[in-house]
Amino acid sequence: MSAILGESLLFPQRNGPQIRLKVFGDEFYSYQENDDGYSAIYDADLGLYAYARLLGGVFISTGVSISELPPTGVKRHLRESQETIAAKFEQRFARNSASRDGAARVLGRSMGLLEGRKVNKGKILGLTILVSFSDVKTSITPADVSDMLNAPGYNRYGNFCSVRDYFLKMSSGKLDYSNIVIGPITLSHEKQYYVEHPLVEETLRAAAKSGIDLRQFDSKREGYIDAINILYAGKSLYQGDYIWPHNGIINIMLGSMRAYFYMLTGLGDDRTELSIGTFCHENSHMLCRLPDLYDYGKRDGDFQNSAGIGSYCLMSYGNHLDDGKTPAPICAYLRNLAGWCDNKVCLNDAGEYQANHGDYNTILIYNTDNENEYFIVENRAALGLDGYLPSSGLAVYHCDIFGSNEWQGGTPDHHYQCGLLQADGHLDLEKNMNEGDASDLFGRIDGLALSHDTLPSSCQWDLSESGLTISSISEPGQVISFRTGPIKSTRSARGEAVAAALINDNDPQGVSSIITLSESGKISALRVSLDITHTYVGDLKVELIAPSGERAVLHDRKGGGNDNLIATFDSDGKPELKALLGLPAHGDWTVWVADLAAIDAGKLNRWSIELDLEASSSSASYEAAPNLEIPDGDPTGISHAIMVEKEGTVQEIKVSVDISHNYVSDLRVELFSPGGKRAVLHNATGSGKPDIVRTFEAKDAADLAGFRGQLLKGNWIMRVTDLEQRDVGRLNKWAMELTILE
């Protein structure tokens, strides 16, 4: 199924020219508006689209053509009642369930995928049938369509690639899907007739009579045609039960072959309108049994729409990007379910990672203690097929194969199958505010980006802590680096001891040397250097003992007759040291060395230890009372800086302002970080009200969330601008309250 949200399309009228309307919905329920926002309904008596009005929660015609001036009293953006929407949806869904792919919901009952026969690997040959009507023909040839579906390096009419190349790219070569194109077959009625009457069986019967050998389309030799695509003349019609672009089930025999899954959509008026987006979307249902990742909005019990994963996946709204010519990739979550990702990088181990753009064969995954629930990280920089995304950066998906993208509530029992953790924390996709915006993905963040207590958070759906922490994200680009685990900071502890301790021959008691560290904090990385003189290092055992008593073996009688042990060990390369991460740094650290065999002796000359400490959270407050006059009607405004000397990165920020002004809707109030990032706190709102005396948080001024990860040190600038004439005021004082990581 293919949903659209506000796309401007042409609609035919029996007694008038085609008319352009914006469409919202899918084949089971939709509504239309003109460019001015007035709801439209097709009036069969007029043979025209007319202005709609509501009667008992149902659209009825005003009898006035939508091409004329609106009737008196008709309002913009009318909506039918939720009960009416649900009833119409269920009526159409029930009427069509025998022919539609009823499993094509957003609930993947087969381990996240839709139930049914899959042909998502190997060489697959599909049948594509071009269709004309008694009144509408097409100038698009089978060769034109065959090139769009099959040609290597295809980029005609603005398309990014051919359908075959798209699936080769998404599957990393595992699905080689091409099509034979036949037709056009001319159906028996005019195009408008098929808005309310089936056309699929008539099309298939005519195709079978053409003499084509249908057995070539059965890759598994099971008696099924793997994929049937019906492309009809003219633009896609987003009307009625039967001609709206969709995928479905026909389940009829054509000789010895069974026709089962099919998809149907329009060709466009001419070859310049050929686009791969909807074709790829519907075939992903048909071939791979991928579910939709948008909200149908009628079957989740709350009657509320959401945008699902928005434009960030082909299986949501991403098939419409660039008018369908540069559709979004299939997101990493679904590629993994399809079995297309050979390389799995586990993010549960703390460390530095890289996400490579366009590496569709690799998945970066963080597992929780629930097998069905996990997080996936993906590079979605604005490159290649991601070139038309509304945002650019690192995507983090919260996944549960038992979820549904109809369930936007985010509760333990009802939550998304694959949700995008929007970096700005706004939940715009869940609230159906848009299909994506510029602040959805994580851009460069020098400090903490995501943890159990950030917004958004990495908590599991039951609100327990998953343990996923992401920090130090680099600029969006071909490679995005990031860190998982404890936040790397500049805090460290180091000590060195010149022991000069003799190591007695064959003495299991050994010798010890202590370094006392005074720094507090938990260990995020650890390095130990040893300088031991000995003529047979295979006799030696060396251990590091933490203040808490935990022991890590550094050397255990290896090296045979080699002389001397001069080496550095670190927690990245030695599991025994990695086990000490997270322990307190403060206290006595001990190196113990013993010679466990006869003949040779030696000396512990010196050793050192260096610890990286986890970033610690602290708070800081700054305030100023500049008492500056705000010039009237001056776009330059006034600026005042607070200089911060402290090092660290911002985790949260609250900003308080005290501004005297007679008419605050004249004012814009902005805060700039030392790095130049801007947050608008107040933007010409509050008509007629005096003074701004309040504290802004991220929940009040969304831009403040963007300061997370910004460097603290430097000039923080408050700017106040009066945008209109007549009234004046003063910036009396302002203050910042910050939570920072050091």
pLDDT value at position 116?
85
If asked whether residues 472 and 529 sit together in one domain, one would say: no
Contact (Cβ atoms closer than 8 angstroms) between residue 422 and residue 429: yes
pLDDT at position 103: 41
Taking the C-alpha atoms of residue 204 and residue 182, their distance in angstroms, rounded to an integer, is 11
- Extract the tokens encoding 546: 């933490």
Q: Residue 98's pLDDT is what?
A: 44
Select from 613, 640, 672 the last residue of a domain.
613
Whole domain around residue 699: which residue ranges? 617-741
In this prediction, residue 490 carries a pLDDT of: 63
Evaluate whether residue 680 is within a structural domain.
Answer: yes
Judge if 321 and 259 occupy the same domain: no
Q: Do 609 and 623 sit in the same domain of this protein?
A: no
Instruction: Tell me, yes or no, whether 69 lies in a domain.
Output: yes
What letter represents residue 287's amino acid? L
Q: How far apart are CA 165 and CA 531, in angstroms?
A: 58
> Which CATH number do you get for residue 573?
2.60.120.260
Q: Cβ distance 191 to 232 under 8 Å?
A: yes
∠ CA 122-128-130, rounded to 5°: 170
Q: Are the beta carbons of 266 and 130 closer than 8 angstroms?
A: no
Alpha carbon separation from 664 to 694, 718, 729 (Å, rounded): 13, 16, 9
H-run or E-run covering 337: helix 332-337
Three-state secondary structure of 603-655: EEEEEEEEEEECCCEEEEEEEECCCEEECCCEEEEEEEEEEECCCCEEEEEEE
SS3 21: strand
| Residue 478 included in any domain | yes
Single-letter residue type at 495: G
263: Cα separation from own chain's centroid: 27
**Burial classification of residue 213, based on how many CB atoms lie within 10 Å of its CB (0-12 exposed, 13-18 middle, 19 or more buried):** exposed
DSSP letters along 576-588, please?
A: HHHTTTTSB--EE
- Which of 5, 711, 593, 40 has its CA nearest to residue 305? 5
DSSP 422-461: -TT---TTTTTS-S--TTSSB--EEEEEE-TTSSS----T
Same domain? For 683 and 718 the reply is yes
Residue 87, CA distances (Å) to 56, 107, 161, 331 in order:
14, 21, 41, 33
| 132 within domain boundaries | yes
Strands 362-367 and 343-346: parallel
**How far is Cα 142 from Cα 181, in angstroms, rounded to an integer?**
6
Any idea what DSSP says for residue 702? G
- Other CB atoms within 10 A of residue 685 CB: 10
Contacts of 539 (CB under 8 A, 6+ apart): 506, 557, 595, 596, 597, 599, 600
In this structure, the answer to whether residues 684 and 603 fall within a common structural domain is: no
- Positions of the chain with pLDDT lower than 70, given as ranges: 1-3, 27, 91-109, 296-304, 488-490
Residue at 115 is within a domain: no
Question: What are the residues whose beta carbons fall under 8 Å from the beta carbon of 453, sequence distance 6 or more?
Answer: none
What CA dihedral angle connects 496, 498, 503 and 509, to 10 degrees?
Answer: -50
Can you read off the two tokens belonging to residue 4?
Answer: 């659209």
Does 295 map to a domain?
Answer: no
Q: Provide the 10 A C-beta neighbour count for residue 449.
A: 26
Question: In this structure, are 666 and 607 located in the same domain?
Answer: no
Looking at the structure, do residues 134 and 225 belong to the same domain, yes or no? yes
Domain closes at, from 578, 613, 648: 613
Cα R_g (the chain), whole angstroms: 33
Question: What is the sign, positive or negative, of the torsion defined by CA atoms of 391, 397, 401, 403?
Answer: negative
Chain centroid to CA 609? 42
CB atoms within 10 A of CB 15: 10
Q: What is the pLDDT of residues 208-245, one digit of tens each?
A: 999 999 999 999 999 999 999 999 999 888 887 788 88
Q: What is the spatial distance between Cα 510 and Cα 609, in angstroms, rounded to a whole number? A: 20
Please state the separation of Cα 642 from the chain's center in Å: 36
Distance CA 709, CA 648 (A): 9
Cβ pair 476, 392 in contact under 8 A: yes
Out of 439, 461, 484, a domain closes at: 484
- Assigned domain for 334 exists: yes
One-letter amino acid identity for 704? L
Do the beta carbons of residue 402 and residue 371 sit within 8 Å? no
Peptide bond preceding 184: is omega within 30 degrees of 0, i.e. cis?
A: yes
Torsion of CA 251, 257, 263, 267, to 10 degrees: -140
User: How far apart (Å, rounded) are the C-alpha atoms in residues 335 and 343?
Assistant: 12
Treating both helix axes as pointing N-terminal to C-terminal, what angle do 163-170 and 277-288 enclose, rounded to 10 degrees? 50
Do 473 and 536 fall within a single domain? no
Expressed in angstroms, the distance from the first to the final Cα of the chain is: 50
> CA-to-CA distance for 717 and 178, rounded, in angstroms?
58
The pTM of this model reads 0.72
Q: Both 654 and 718 in a single domain?
A: yes
Q: Is 98 exposed, middle or buried (0-12, 13-18, 19+ CB in 10 A)?
A: exposed
At 262 the pLDDT is 94
In one-letter notation, the amino acid at residue 484 is T
**Can you give the three-state secondary structure of 190-237, one letter per residue?**
CHHHHHCCCCHHHHHHHHHHCCCCHHHHCCCCCCECCCEEEEECECCC
For residues 553 and 560, give the distance between their C-alpha atoms in angstroms, rounded to a whole number. 17
Whether residues 340 and 389 share a domain: the answer is: yes
State whether 448 and 548 are in the same domain.
no
What tens digit of pLDDT does each residue of 379-404 get? Answer: 999 999 999 999 999 999 999 998 88
Q: Quick one: pLDDT at residue 312?
A: 97
Q: Residue 626's pLDDT is what?
A: 95
Length of the chain in terms of residues written: 742
Same domain flag for 317 and 463: yes
User: What is the pLDDT, as a whole number, of residue 104?
Assistant: 44
Q: Does residue 109 lie within any of the structural domains?
A: no
Q: What is the DSSP string of 57-119?
A: TEEEEEEEETTSPPPTTPPBS----HHHHHHHHHHHHHHHTTTB-TT-SSB-TBTTBPSS---
Into how many domains does the chain fold? 5
